[in-house]
Structure 1
Amino acid sequence: MTIMPRKHRTHGRSHWGSNDPAGRGKRRLRYWADLHDGRGYMRHSMTIRGTAGDGWLILDRLHLEHSRDTVVPTVGQAYEMWWLPDAEERIGSGDLARSTFRGYESRWRTHVESRWGSVPVSDVKVLDIQEWLKSLTTSIAELSLILLRQILEFCVMYELIPRNPASGRFRMPKKVKAHSKDVYTLSETIAAIDAARGTVAYIPAILCGLGSCRVGESLGARVDLGEVRRVEVRGMTVAVIDLVRQVDASGHPMDALKTKGSKRPIVIPEPWSLDVLSEPGPWLCDKGFGEPLSQITVRRWWKSSLEAAGVKPIPFRNLRNSWRTYMRWELGVDEDLLEAMMGHAGRNVGEIHYDRPRWEVFAAVVADAWARYRSSVQNESCAIGTNWDKN
């Protein structure tokens, strides 16, 4: 059998490209490829000087170079197709907190989508990621990078890219300003809470500054579900509040707290307990029409009311730190008990503390500590005594 030599066509198409005349001595070549120029897998064309054979030789070379190119999704498409459904599934199983999910959503909308949403996943480069991170603040850069890394990990899993370009080590932007660590003494805490009286920040400030709450925890209690109750202990009326949920910055309730240990009772001493117990609900910190306050609103009123009263405000979240500090060093409560009362695991809390329900233990500890304090200032002419009497 005689094997005939291959003859190049003068013009025509293959399954991958075309080679057509384009005037005297010219050829127009069209082919499909991903040139990694940010446009993804698409049709390209070029005009060459030469014969049809020259055109087919060039197409053969291009085909060899791009034979592994495939249609790949953009980062935005990967986010929609894979990351979002997986996140919803993790929320349902309890592996991802709804508040964390909202944080990722916010970072996607404001910082990740605008830079990477339309970029094919095969065109995401390490150096480009580094340049992008430099344009962000530290906290935003950290969370945004985590989200981008998670999205691209799906692309590695589905063999669309050989490795994850966001998984390496990057230079993160330097922190411009550290969070304030200022705390109040006991007398300063009472004075600051008194300055917020009559505003929507008053009850949340009591729960944080006199009860150890995180900001979101202070907004999540419901009166109508029996989560706020009056208890008489050691001759004092205290308010016992069961923390089972929190409210995020925008005012959305979340059934999960920061950790499993965060689910706990807190105890508010007299006389502030009477103000807490007088709230009608349904939320203890209610807007007035059946919805909880947002953290943003509370922080704004806290700052403005203290400044109006001539009291230097500390960040609202630092009221919890103030509680921990004065309870230990001014009221002399055992450190391990304080850890448990804050929702921490604690190190050496003995089982003796848990032979009764926790709220009974905590109520007794708080009542005893404040009774000792009240006794020590009854005959003193000081600012703390004045604030106590006013309340």
Structure 2
Amino acid sequence: MAWIEKHGRSWRVRYRNSDGTTGSVPGTFTTEDEARTHAASLATPAPAPSVILTPRHLPPVQQSAPAFTSPAETVPTTPPPGSTRPTVAQWIEEWWDTIDIGDNTLAQYRSITKNHILPRWGTTPVTEVTSADVAKWTKQLRERYKPATVSGIRKLFSLIMADAADNGLRDSNPVRPRNRGRGRTEPRTERVWATEYEVNEIARRILTLAGPNQALLVITAAYTGMRWGELAGLRRERCRTGAPNPCIIIDPEVGALHEVNGELSYGQPKTASSARTVTLPPFLASLLAAELARTSTPPVFTTIRGKHLRRSGFQRRVWAPAVNGTTLPDGTVWKPIKPGLTFHGLRHSHKTWMIEDGIPGVAQARRLGHRLQDKIDDVYSHVAASVEQRLLAALEARWQRALRPAAEVSPE
């Protein structure tokens, strides 16, 4: 007899095998009614030889198991005829329950899996994924996608297959680094970053397009190194602008705004180290204090109508025309300021500025929410006050320096 159960945001159909183990119909259903209808149509699966796959007792694949394709996923998941070994699709379906990651990361993993991994490897038994086949697949991906995209796809598949090996489904991970071929001589793509002058010019344009609030968003991003989700989710009670130590507090539980499948929610920042206190240079504390006095919305940064910011809308309507150039309705032509610069590039810019100003690496990591290997917190605590003051003084000087020649460096 089959039954249904909630599985994340979806539903799945499960059944009891003759040997007492529990099996799942490959794939998931988007609604409870769809899952219930499918469960009602299933007969008790025919007995099959018991195959011990992992310590977690993955259900043995039945030769007569019904093939199923999720309405939202048009990729095959049925193993080859006569096979009793789990396919990549069947392992991934079980794998979702073994990982503990944030909603944004989970949504990204599911998208990569659906669009790239399952179409190629879904019906392949886990034991038959070879390094040679992975290399051929990677080469084909490189012909269609940018290096960063290919790297993300390959890293996720490597993680999936490494966990399969750890669970005894195969001897080793077939997605191994390659130390030969052109990959060794390909130049590394440099991250695009902006100078303080370019940041000011971008903010000036955004002031024209979207008002002072979103212009200040850009300034804050560049002079704090905060991530998009941390800024979009920043609430006024977490913004301390008064003396003697103005700062922004990124809460470990609700310190970031997440957008998953179009839905917004407050949640944990990217990593445990991301929950931190970010100190503010004097000019930025003053600007934020004035903005908080001018507005009354709980989020510090919002749309013109006071709603939560969405990354895609901000990118399309505000960021892209300001950075890459556009023609305004009145005929004014904006030339590009920094083609290829992303909003996340402001975080890289902040990192670059700290390097230029000679800030120690451990202080950089603390400010950006990174975790350094082989670094002891006590070492940093002894120099925190002096280093922090030097960092804030350098940022203040950079801001004041950028204000004076701003007209001279304008690309218009």
Q: Which residue pairs with 2:241 in the alignment? A: 230
Contact 2:197 2:406 in 1 (8 A): yes
Larger gyration radius, structure 1 or structure 2: 1
Question: Does residue 1:310 correspond to 2:335, yes or no?
Answer: yes
Change over 3 Å in CA distance of 1:153–1:285 after alignment to 2: same
Contact 1:75 1:121 in 2 (8 A): yes
Question: Does residue 1:209 correspond to 2:222, yes or no?
Answer: yes
Unmatched tracts of structure 2, length 5 or more: 1-47, 49-62, 64-77, 327-333
Question: In the aligned structure 1, how far is the partner of 2:310 from the partner of 2:227?
Answer: 13
Question: In the aligned structure 2, how far is the partner of 1:253 from the partner of 1:212?
Answer: 22
Q: Which residue pairs with 2:346 in the alignment? A: 319
- What SS class does the counterpart of residue 204 from structure 1 fall into? helix
Range that drifts further, 148-157 or 300-309: 148-157
- 1:279-294 alignment runs, 5 A limit: 279-287=295-303, 292-294=308-310
Q: Which residue pairs with 1:144 in the alignment? A: 153
Question: Does residue 1:195 correspond to 2:220, yes or no?
Answer: no
Q: Which residue pairs with 1:349 in the alignment? A: 380
- Residue 76 of structure 1 and its aligned partner are, at CA, apart by 1.3
Change over 3 Å in CA distance of 1:367–1:126 after alignment to 2: closer
- Residue 204 of structure 1 and its aligned partner are, at CA, apart by 2.8
- What SS class does the counterpart of residue 241 from structure 1 fall into? strand
Letter of the 1:148 partner, please give it. F
Change over 3 Å in CA distance of 1:180–1:283 after alignment to 2: farther
Contact 1:39 1:119 in 2 (8 A): yes
Q: Give per-residue Cα distances to partners, 1:210-269, cap 9 Å, x unaligned.
A: 22223333222123xx11233145xxxx96321233345767556333443332233264
Contact 1:76 1:117 in 2 (8 A): yes
- What SS class does the counterpart of residue 171 from structure 2 fall into? coil
- Residue 83 of structure 1 and its aligned partner are, at CA, apart by 0.3
TM norm structure 1: 0.60
Query: For 2:366, which of 319, 340, 345 is the aligned residue?
Result: 340
Q: Which residue pairs with 1:129 in the alignment? A: 134
Q: Indicate the percent of aligned positions where both proteins have the same amino acid.
A: 19
- Residue 291 of structure 1 and its aligned partner are, at CA, apart by 5.9
RMSD: 4.4
How many residue pairs match? The answer is 302
- 1:54-93 alignment runs, 5 A limit: 71-80=84-93, 82-87=94-99, 91=100
Q: Which residue pairs with 1:265 in the alignment? A: 277
Question: In the aligned structure 1, how far is the partner of 2:167 from the partner of 2:398?
Answer: 64
Q: Which residue pairs with 1:64 in the alignment? A: none
Contact 2:162 2:173 in 1 (8 A): no
Letter of the 2:148 partner, please give it. S
Letter of the 1:131 partner, please give it. K
Question: In the aligned structure 1, how far is the partner of 2:400 from the partner of 2:216?
Answer: 25
Question: In the aligned structure 2, how far is the partner of 1:376 from the partner of 1:288?
Answer: 30
Q: Give per-residue Cα distances to partners, 1:125-180, cap 9 Å, x unaligned.
A: 44332221212144344443444344445655666x55346254557985988544
Query: For 1:112, which of 101, 117, 122 is the aligned residue?
Result: 117
Q: Give per-residue Cα distances to partners, 1:347-380, cap 9 Å, x unaligned.
A: 763425369xxxxx95x667755666788899xx
